[in-house]
Structure 1
């Protein structure tokens, strides 16, 4: 086999990781529609707790069926930090923030997350920041700004809401960067399951609100909350962890810029919200940026059986 061609196992692993990332982005985009529906009946903390309990139960059953044990001690620091920041704080802050600002403003602020991931990944994990990644993130962020501006002004805005969305973005970035080292010694399913449990424990003070609001909420809102727990949480966070274990945090963060374009499409299909020209242009820019950020000049440096990546990115991964 030529040295310029990736091995078959390496190519298969790369495709599996890309497929896992795609599943994650699609399900996280669908969460936008469900959060809007469930958020009318559930307060931010109650919605987060209900979602996390549904996710933890689903993941727990899967762990028992697969006989996954407790993660090794070396993984617990990353699991605990990601559980507190990403599964717990992020979900409450985002739910609350989206009630204070319009969808466009929320999208603008939260989409600073991938940029923060790249900066934190470079500083704390030694992730490389190749020109293609930086260029792709710049294009995608421009697209996210375009989508956000086109959607702004429909629900009002507040300083509190902007601050909450910014805190959610920071917690998201910190959680991803903390999760990456844990995947070096624990499986994606273990990291996701116990991270979700940590987040659920953190949100237990909202249990009283959840019980009270569940009694008054329409069935559609409760079903949307359960959907959030089973699919965008249990399934999507596991596929995210699987893909993250096979690439850098920076590249995975850049991949999530496909979500705004998918949100536009899903809002069109399921909510009847016809996007304007500016919104469509922004969605195309988001997808184009993701394509650029995930492209690479060559895969000749990949070792047999490994996911092909540029030499600089492999060096960043080996440092971890």
Structure 2
């Protein structure tokens, strides 16, 4: 008897999650281009606060339209931690760190984040660490190192800048791992909206700087700050949460290794920064590693149950078949 297998809804859910992750990495890559413009006119804290306020307004409007309501009490711990560490601390420290080191060093240090996510996810969330995921992350990190080295210029680096970028990576990783359990209790939109609000409240001490910088900033820098809030923050963090709710933190962290490759491409297209061979090779390695980490073993190769059941020796001529295992 041929029982229909429920592959269609599962496949559709996988495609939606993959599409959401793709939207996230593309928008996060575009953020690096916008930060270059806005960061020249806004101080690190003011830029983070302006970006979070714009994101909170956009997300709040969507929540009101959809009548999402408040998240359940059980989700607030993860929302508060991710809001403080990822939306607030990460954005301020990263903006500050990128003013102290060249772009290549910043990219190299911050890209330790996915590795930290995998380690924390394995320890705190019980995420599996399959060989394909580890191999893919190793390939992608090698690509990120190549991109970082090729982008390192004469801007120089300071110990403070490296420490700040490393703290940003730690805040990013801890925020992602804290967010994952909250997504089991609240919707992706709720977790993102209230996490963004928590981050904005944490950055309110920079309100005076934001007002002062906005008065002197060119229109292009302010528009880039608003773009950062609406698209790489409001939209991209929501699609991230949607995808994270449907996979492990480790696998989602590995997916973000596509960002350096896309940054290279966007810098080439929009800033006329022609990449060298080492940069291109690093970008290809990043994408190849993501493909490996997201791939799944072929059916029948990941389990030994079928092989173990075959050599059963029984005196009966017609052994009763064992029930099929999922």
TM-score computed with the length of structure 2 as normaliser: 0.91
Q: Distance in 1 between matches of 2:4 and 2:32?
A: 42
4+ residue runs over 3 A deviation: 1-6, 298-301
Call closer, same or farther: CA 1:299–1:192 in 2, change over 3 Å.
Answer: farther
1:6–1:300 Cα contact (<8 Å) kept: no
Q: What is the distance in 1 between the residues matched to 2:291 and 2:5?
A: 21
Structure 1 residues 60-75: aligned runs within 5 Å:
60-75=60-75
Deviations 1:148-183 (A, max 9, x none): 000112321100000000000000000000000000
Partner of 2:79: 79
What does residue range 1-320 of structure 1 map to in structure 2 within 5 Å?
7-298=7-298
Post-superposition Cα deviations, 1:228-280, rounded to whole Å, max 9, x if no partner, equal: 00000000000000000000000000000000000000000000100000000
Alpha-carbon offset, residue 4 of structure 1: 11
Distance 1:6 1:56 in 2: 38
Give the distance between the partners of 2:5 and 2:289, measured in 1 at CA: 25
- Contact kept, 8 Å, 1:264 with 1:279, in 2: the verdict is yes
Give the Cα–Cα distance (whole angstroms) in 1 for the partners of residues 105 and 249 of structure 2: 25
Q: Which runs of 5+ in 1 are unaligned?
A: 302-309, 312-320
Deviations 1:25-57 (A, max 9, x none): 000000000001100000000000000000000
Contact conserved, 1:75 with 1:183, CA < 8 A, in 2? yes
Distance in 2, Cα, partners of 1:125 & 1:170: 16
Would the alpha carbon gap of residues 214 and 74 (structure 1) be closer, same or farther in structure 2, given more than 3 Å must change? same
Distance 1:143 1:263 in 2: 13
The match for 1:305 is none
SS class of match (2:62): helix
Give the alignment's TM-score, normalised by structure 1.
0.92
- Would you say the 8 A contact 1:3–1:300 is kept in 2? no
Q: 1:6, CA displacement in angstroms?
A: 6.1
- Unaligned 5+ segments in structure 2 are 304-326
**Contact residue 83 and residue 197 of structure 1 kept, 8 A:** yes
Q: Give CA deviations for 1:54-110 in whole Å, capped at 9, x if unaligned.
A: 000000000000000100000000000000000000000000000000000000000
Cα separation, partners in 2 of 1:84 and 1:299, compared to 1, 3 Å? farther
In 2, the alpha carbon distance for the partners of 1:59 and 1:37 equals 24
Q: Could you tell me how far 1:15 is from its partner in structure 2?
A: 0.1
Kindly name which structure, 1 or 2, has the bigger radius of gyration based on alpha carbons: 2
Q: Deviation per CA, 1:290-310: give whole Å up to 9, x if none.
A: 000000014689xxxxxxxx8
> 3-state DSSP class of the match of 2:128?
coil
